[in-house]
Amino acid sequence: MKTSLQVILLALFCKAVLLSSSDHNFVRKEIKFEGDLVLGGLFPINEKGGGMDECGRINEDRGIQRLEAMLFAIDQINRDSSLLPGVKLGVHILDTCSRDTYALEQSLEFVRASLTKVDEAEYMCPDGSYAIQENSPLSIAGVIGGSYSSVSIQVANLLRLFHIPQISYASTSAKLSDKSRYDYFARTVPPDFYQAKAMAEILRFFNWTYVSTVASEGDYGETGIEAFEHEARLRNICIATSEKVGRSNIKKSYDNAIKELLQKPNAKVVVLFMRSDDTRELLAAANRFNASFTWIASDGWGAQESIVKGNEHIAYGAITLELASHPVKEFDKYFQSLTPYNNNRNPWFKDFWQQKFQCSLLNKNHQVKFCDKRLNINSSNYEQESKIMFVINAVYAMAYALHQMQRTVCPNTNMLCDAMKVLDGKQVYKDYLLKVNFTAPFIPPSNTDTIVKFDAYGDGIGLYNVFNFQYHNGKYSYTKIGQWAETLSLDVDIIQWSKSSVPTSQCSDPCAPNEMKNMQPGDVCCWICIPCEKYEYLADEFTCIDCGEGRWPTADLTSCFDLPEDYIKWEDAWAIGPVTIACLGFVQTTTMCISVSLSGFVVLGCLFAPKVHIILFQPQKNVVTHRLHLNRFSVSGTATTYSQSSASAHYTPTICNGGEVLDSTTSSL
């Protein structure tokens, strides 16, 4: 009952959309040719329009090239007798105009067969034959697309209601890995959290700890920058400011973003998770403000020439990521053979041709030159778009899934049996599509181990090339400087920087060796440097600790050592001075008796001998209070000990001849 209600509501919605389109004299451009099994295709053939316009200019690389890549793959499969033998694949390709809402509206064409198909067995003609439904829509076995993540998310929500499998060749939003919501979605590319991790590792590699970010509104930019910020926090990288550019495609939005970036002058590195058209407009805005940054960009920028055209000096030194892929030489040959005169199946190709060569095929516009028939696509005006391989792999993955299903449910024939004429999309997706494992077609000899397969979430394998936008021999171009595959590998020596040296991007300058960081509240990247005291060492970069009594910090301030105990020796200069001064004085002894007995001299000698021994030979055994200390308050030995070098007063009884004891005060050295 619930499913029937969904179908009825969707049918009413489809009817409303179709009526709305007809009211505006809407003419749909599409590529449509029948086959035993039909694959749908969604491509951003036009860029998004500005203002009230749904569609803008022709997207030469991500639109036309990718569309032709699907047609090329279909042609190759139909010629291959070992793949889907006896089965011809058809296509139904539509334009998304780089907008999720427009793409959803277009995708309703893919489900019309499920909404309007009538069971022909219930109707019979007078001659006994079954009725044939007139103008019945093509039943879609699976959909290849979309390109942008926001488009794929909208389309996936629709296709899952009708159990139609979908394979994207470019959508990388992490949201699409959620199989509880997108249970008929797969992709030949990895999710963005791998890319976000790679970008964070690049920042850590160059010690860029304070950066700004700009993201496109929508699932690709917002989820991508969210994943990056998570990875950045794990590496103690701070975000100075985080900006978003809207879907309106208005210059003011990009100008405001550049103004905000300029408010953080210490954040010289800017991380971009943006769609290609947004990136192009942001670079143009930076040019208007003469702003200079080091850009770190996702595969939304990648290695596309069209993004930097006219703003090459602003993009110079940028580091960009692109999914690792190899060029398909067979596609180059195919695409370069196309002209408006031999490519009638692509209704957008003439518009592409006129835009690319800035000419008119109709010769009605006298302000534009007429297209010379000798014009052609060649290596001087063409470069293969980076995701062509993923488009071809997506088409082949669907074909291999259908091929394996054919072998299973149609074991006794090479034709399409009745069991496959009405496909169970859930079975196709879970039992066959997610289990495909094949060598990528058209691989160069050096990449013989390239395998196409999906993980449990329907995602592709994560592998990225790292590019640097450089200037060589009077021409700007992208140069591969490394790769990310779980870990980062960079060739630093070949990188070109906009300021001729590795830029710094830190909130605060590093502290001196004798300074500690006093962190600012709520910010792990900004600090004030405070010098340690002379008697303190650095326990860590944030703490100075007192070495304590009798200890002193090492030269590198990493620890403390015990100060050696030092004593004044008889021959030391510090002892000679006080002794000399003492000797210059006089010793006055009042003797109350004429003579002293021999025993008295012996007693005095015995008392005096140990003291002389200590003074001369073992000064360290003198009383503790008379030791010389070197601590943080007194680093120069100026103290002397009276036990060594000054006079001491003694009260000594003097024994006279008669045995009478008299008082005697003696001052002795």
Identify whether 130 is part of a domain: no
Nearest to 175 by CA among 136, 215, 227: 227
Chunk the chain into consecutive blocks of 10 residues (it has 669) and report each block's average pLDDT, rounded to whole numbers.
Answer: 48 48 60 94 91 85 96 97 93 94 92 63 63 64 94 95 96 92 96 94 95 92 94 92 82 93 94 94 96 95 92 97 92 97 96 94 78 92 93 98 94 84 91 94 76 93 93 94 92 92 89 86 81 91 90 91 79 71 55 56 76 68 49 40 38 42 39
Phi-psi region of 388 (alpha: psi -120 to 50; beta: other; left: phi over 0): alpha
Q: What is the pLDDT of residue 621?
A: 62
The single-letter code of the amino acid at 235 is: R
CB 243 within 8 A of CB 259: no
For residue 583, what pLDDT is reported?
65
pLDDT, position 137:
60
DSSP 84: S
427/315 same-domain check: no
Nearest alpha-carbon partner for 247 in 287, 211, 275: 275
> Within this chain, do residues 619 and 488 fall inside the same structural domain, yes or no?
no
Bridge-partner residues for 485, per DSSP? 487
Strand residue runs (E) in 362-461: 437-439, 451-453
Which letter does DSSP use for residue 62 in this model? I
> Could you give the count of Cα atoms lying within 13 Å of 562 in the half-sphere of its Cβ?
3
Distance CA 439, CA 393 (A): 9
Q: What is the pLDDT of residue 96?
A: 95
**Residue written as token pair 């010289």:** 268
478 and 392 share one domain = no
Is 657 in contact with 595 (CB distance < 8 Å)?
A: yes
Q: List the structure tokens of 327.
A: 């060029």
Contacts of 349 (CB under 8 A, 6+ apart): 64, 338, 340, 343
pTM of the model: 0.69
Q: What is the pLDDT of residue 16?
A: 44
Long-range contacts of 651-655 (CB under 8 A, 24+ apart): 652/604, 654/591, 654/592, 654/593, 654/596, 654/600, 655/593, 655/596, 655/597, 655/599, 655/600
Q: Are 165 and 433 in contact (CB under 8 A)?
A: yes
Range of the domain at 636: 573-668
How far is the C-alpha of 8 from the C-alpha of 15, rounded, in Å? 11
Q: Which CATH number is 533's domain given?
A: 2.10.50.30
Whichever domain contains 313, its CATH number is: 3.40.50.2300
d(CA 295, CA 319): 6
626 inside domain: yes
Is 75 among the domain residues? Answer: yes
Q: How many CB atoms lie within 10 A of CB 138?
A: 20
Q: Are residues 520 and 553 in the same domain?
A: yes
What is the rounded CA–CA span in Å between residue 577 and residue 640? 10
What letter represents residue 607's amino acid?
A: L
Own/partner long-range contacts of 257-263 (Cβ < 8 Å, ≥24 apart): 257/214, 257/282, 257/285, 258/282, 258/285, 258/286, 258/288, 258/289, 258/291, 259/289, 260/212, 261/212, 261/214, 261/291, 261/293, 262/289, 262/291
Query: What residues pair up with 323 in beta bridges, in sequence order?
Result: 464
As a dihedral over the C-alpha atoms of residue 193, residue 195, residue 198, residue 199, rounded to 10 degrees, the angle is -100
Q: How far is CA 377 from the centre of its chain?
A: 36
Q: Which residue is it, tokens 């990188």?
A: 495
HSE, side-chain direction, 13 A CA sphere, residue 51 = 2
Question: Is the residue at 360 inside a domain?
Answer: no
Beta bridge partners of 648: 668
Backbone angles phi, psi at 222, to 5 degrees: -70, -45
Are 156 and 198 in a shared domain? Answer: no
**Last residue within a domain, chosen from 562, 594, 620:** 562
Residues 579 and 609 in one domain: yes
The CB density around residue 136, as the number of other CB atoms within 10 Å, is 13
Neighbours of 386 (CB within 10 A): 23
Task: With respect to residue 129, please indicate whether it lies within any of the assigned structural domains.
Answer: no
CB atoms within 10 A of CB 233: 13
178 and 52 in a common domain: yes
Contacts of 223 (CB under 8 A, 6+ apart): 149, 173, 174, 175, 192
Contact 460, 257 (CB under 8 A): no
Judge whether 423 lies within some domain: yes
Rg (CA), the chain: 43
Same domain, 32 and 171: yes
Say if residue 47 is in the same domain as residue 185. Answer: yes
**Distance of alpha carbon 75 from alpha carbon 72, whole angstroms:** 5
Domain end marker among 562, 597, 621: 562
The set of residues, in sequence order, having a beta carbon less than 8 Å from that of 130 and lying 6+ positions away, is: 120, 121, 123, 124
pLDDT at res. 582: 65
Is 307 a domain residue? yes
Indicate if 486 and 554 belong to the same structural domain. Answer: no
- Same domain for 578 and 643, yes or no, is yes
Any domain includes 21:
no
Q: Whole-angstrom Cα distance, residue 445 to residue 461?
A: 20
| Structural domains in the chain (count) | 4
Residues 286 and 204 in one domain: yes
Largest separation between any pair of C-alpha atoms in the chain: 171
